[in-house]
Structure 1
Amino acid sequence: MQYDVLICGAGPAGSTCGRLLAGQGFKVAIFDQASFPRYKPCGGGLTGKAQGELAPGWEDLVEDSAGEVIFYHRQKDPLPVNSDGAVIKMVSRERLDAWLLEGAARAGAAVRDGYPIAAVRETESGVAVQGADGRVWEGSFLVGADGARSLVRRSLPFQTEATDGITLECEVPAADGVLEGYRGQVLLSYGGIPAGYGWVFPKGDHLSVGIGSFTRQVKGLRRYFDTFCRGLGLPIPLQLRCRGAVIPAAGGQGGVFHTRRALLVGDAAGLVDPFSGEGIYYALRSGRLAAEAIQTVAGGGGGLEAYSRQLNDELLQPLHYAWQIARVVYALTPVVHRLVTANPEVARRLVEVLFGSATYEDLWHYLRERYAIFRLV
């Protein structure tokens, strides 16, 4: 069957792109090997930037809101930072992703979840996607939204430079009394795992607890997780199931995210914040930019190279500053924590950046002007 746009991957990037294109009258098909709703290892925090990319109705998915962020160093020396309003809203990725995909389907996109893709190809005249069942789907444009291990990225001549890290996340059941103690706050602990941090996010009936590292050289991730939980006094059930995922963190160096008829979005493009690990905003935003690029090209407005330029300028260039900050913070975490404790303004500015009301560039210049360790990078 012939489509205008074939989208591999039904996460936030693919579903957003599909919804916007289908809403403009494009014939869209979205494929994903998972059956939705499906579990996704993720803290599920929506920053202000991410909220601004969502269609109305997302508010019904919110399970908690946090106006306080508490920073720890190796689960000790807590440093609370309070904001006047909520800096982050917590959702279940299972519910969020299903809602986004349902929105694409309502807009007119054909959804084939539970459908593994075996191969993709691009020709002068179009693109094709072959399912594991041997069936071939043809289209004019292809969007690779198929995650960190993207088949689309590996199959076509893109140029990306993300560095893979790893995360481990668990949904920890908590009694009402225990859960109430975590309401309205986010816990972040640095220094307990190389090149990464641990988090605790309150959800509807559980805590999202996880650790992540921006290097895959870390061994014994579950051991780090158990140490993190013990340090915060979190009781962990013996049969608790934890799930891992790859973090394709951007270095901010730019890349080529288009071919003649294909685009990469979200994790497939390596669009993950190399300091915080946030990926939802970058998935939503790149999905929107990809939809706009395809509309422009389909209307006779040039080629897809404008998409790569926009991604590099709008998303990758700011993340270069995040990468610079991460290099210092994760290499010298004890020093940085003492610095932040002595000057809480640093922590306040960091919270503003992490959750979308300020930029990494502003923070980078602020730190370089005041602290020699940031001028050494």
Structure 2
Amino acid sequence: MNYDVIICGAGPAGSTCGRLLARRGLKVLILDKARFPRYKPCGGGLTGKALGELEPGWEKLSEDSTREVIFYHRQERPINIVYQQPVIRMVGREKLDAWLLEQAAAAGATIRDGYRVTAVAETATGVTIYGEDGSIFQGDFLVGADGARSLVRKSLPFNTGTAAGVTLECEIPVDEGVLAEYRGRVHLSYGGIPAGYGWIFPKGDHLSVGIGSFTRQVKGLQRYFQDFCRGMGLKIPEGIRCRGAVIPAASGKAGTLHTGRAVLAGDAAGLVDPFSGEGIYYALRSGRLAAEAISAALAGQGGLEDYTKKIHAEVLPSLHYAWRIARVVYALTPVVHRLVAANPEVARRLVDVLFGGDTYEDLWQYLTGRYAIFRLAR
């Protein structure tokens, strides 16, 4: 069958792109190897920027509203930052992603979940998708939104400079008495794992607990996870399964994210915050920008190079400054933690960037204007 646009990957980037294209009257096919709803290793925190990209109705997905962020160094020396208004909303990724995919279907996109793509080909006039079951789909344009291990990225001549890290996450059921102690609070502990941190996020009837590192060279992830839980006073019940995932980490130099007939979005494009690991906002944003570029190309009003240009202009500058800050923080975590403890304004500005609307560039200018350890990293 022929489509105007084929999208590989039904996560936030793919579903957002598919919804917006279908609403413009285009014939859209969304493919994903998983059947939805499906589990996704992720802390599931929606920042203010991410909420701004969602349509009304997300409120029903919220499982907790966080007003307090607590930073630790190696699970010790907590620094509490309290807000009057929520700074982050907690959701289950299986529910969020299913909701976004339902919106795409309601807009008119064709959904084929449980469909494994085995090969992708591109010509000057279109793209061809080959499935494990022998089926073939053809389209005018392709969106690779198929995650950090993107088959689309590997198959076509993109020029991306994405590094990768690893994460391990599990959902721990706890009774209401224990859960009440965590409600409204995010716990972030730095220094316990190289180039990364551990987190505890409260959800509906459980805690999302995980660790992540922005270097794949880290060894013994399970040991780091157990040390983190032990230090935070958490016991992992028998039979609880922890799941790992690869996370891309942009440096602000994502390269070329388009070919003649295809673009990359979300994790496939490496659009993940290299300091916090947050990727939902960048998936939603890049899915929207991909839809705009493809719509213009189909109308003869531009080419896919406009998508790469917009990502470079509107997304990458922030990620570049996040990468610069991350280099300092993860190399000198004890020093930075003491600095933050001595100056709560630094912590508040950091939270405003991580979960609010402030930019990493503003934070970088603030830090380099006051602290030598950041000026030396320029």
Whether the TM-score (by the shorter chain) exceeds 0.5 is yes
Partner residue, 1:53 = 53
Matched residues in 1 for 2:153 and 2:224: separation? 32
Question: How far does residue 356 in structure 1 lie from its aligned partner after superposition?
Answer: 2.6
Deviation string, structure 1 residues 21-61 (Cα, Å, up to 9, x no partner): 00110000000000110000000000000001011111100
Residue 241 of structure 2 aligns to which amino acid in structure 1?
Answer: R
Partners of 1:112 and 1:103 lie apart in 2 by 14
User: 1:211 deviation in Å?
Assistant: 0.2
2:114 is matched with 114
Deviation by residue 1:119-152 (Cα, 9 ceiling, x = unmatched): 0111111111110111110010000000000000
Question: How far does the alpha carbon of each residue in 1:169-203 deviate from its partner, in whole angstroms, 9 at most, with x for none?
Answer: 00001100000000001000000000000000000
> After superposition, where does 1:33-182 map in structure 2 within 5 Å?
33-182=33-182
Give the Cα separation in 1 of the matches to 2:83 and 2:311: 31
Q: Which runs of 5+ in 1 are unaligned?
A: none
CA contact (8 A) 1:254 1:317 kept: no
Displacement of 1:238: 2.4
Give the structure 2 partner of residue 256 of structure 1: 256
Contact 2:254-2:269 at 8 Å conserved across structures:
no
Alignment check: 8 A CA contact 2:70 2:186 kept: yes
1:318 alignment partner in structure 2: 318
What is the CA distance between 1:162 and its match in structure 2?
1.4
Q: How many angstroms apart in 2 are the aligned matches of 1:357 and 1:192?
A: 28
Whole-angstrom distance in 2 between the partners of 1:292 and 1:99: 22
Q: Which whole-Å CA distance do the structure 2 matches of 1:296 and 1:302 have between them?
A: 6
Shift of 1:285: 0.3
The 8 Å contact of residues 47 and 89 in structure 1, kept in 2 or not, is answered as: yes
- For residue 193 of structure 2, what is the amino acid of its counterpart? I
CA distance in 2, matches of 1:235, 1:122: 50
CA separation in 2, counterparts of 1:302 and 1:282?
23
Equivalent position of 1:336 in the other structure: 336
Q: For each residue in 1:184-232, what CA deviation from the matched residue of structure 2 results, as whole angstroms up to 9, or x when unmatched?
A: 0100000000000000000000000000000001111111001001101
Percent identity, aligned pairs only?
72
- 2:247 corresponds to which residue? 247
Residue type of the partner of 1:13? A
Q: Equivalent residue for 2:269? A: 269
Checking the alignment, whether the CA contact within 8 Å between 1:198 and 1:210 is kept in structure 2 is yes
Q: Say what the alpha-carbon RMSD is for the aligned residues.
A: 0.6
- Distance in 2, matches of 1:306 and 1:141, equals 14
Q: Which residue of 1 aligns with 2:374?
A: 374
Question: What is the Cα deviation at residue 318 of structure 1?
Answer: 1.2
Q: Matched residues in 1 for 2:174 and 2:275: separation?
A: 29
Spell out the pairing of 1:297-316 with structure 2 (5 A cutoff): 297-316=297-316
Aligned to 2:282: 282
Q: Supply the AA of the counterpart residue of 1:259.
A: T
SS in 2 for 1:341: helix
> Is structure 2 residue 198 aligned with structure 1 residue 198?
yes
Partners of 1:238 and 1:363 in 2: CA distance: 42
What's the counterpart of residue 10 of structure 1? 10
- Give the counterpart letter for 1:228 in structure 2: F
Alignment check: 8 A CA contact 1:182 1:202 kept: yes
Per the TM alignment, residue 277 of structure 1 is displaced from its structure 2 partner at its CA by: 0.2
Q: What does residue 347 of structure 1 align with?
A: 347
CA deviations 1:75-130 (Å, max 9, x no partner) are 00000001120000000000000111111011111000000000011111111111
Whether the aligned pair in 1 keeps the contact of 2:293 and 2:302 (CA below 8 Å) is: no
Q: How many angstroms apart in 2 are the aligned matches of 1:125 and 1:253?
A: 29
What letter matches 2:292 in structure 1? E
- Structure 1: distance between partners of 2:254 and 2:364: 19
In structure 2, what residue type is equivalent to 1:68? E
- How many angstroms apart in 2 are the aligned matches of 1:130 and 1:124? 18
Alpha carbons 1:63, 1:204 under 8 Å: kept: yes
**Equivalents in 1 of 2:317, 2:255: separation in Å?**
11
Partners of 1:98 and 1:10 in 2: CA distance: 9
> In the alignment, residue 78 of structure 2 is paired with which amino acid?
P
- TM-aligned CA deviation for residue 62 of structure 1: 0.2
The residue that corresponds to 2:233 in the other structure is 233
What do the CA deviations read for 1:284-313 (whole angstroms, capped 9, x no partner)?
A: 000000000011111111211010010011
SS at match of 1:238: coil
Partner SS for 1:102? helix
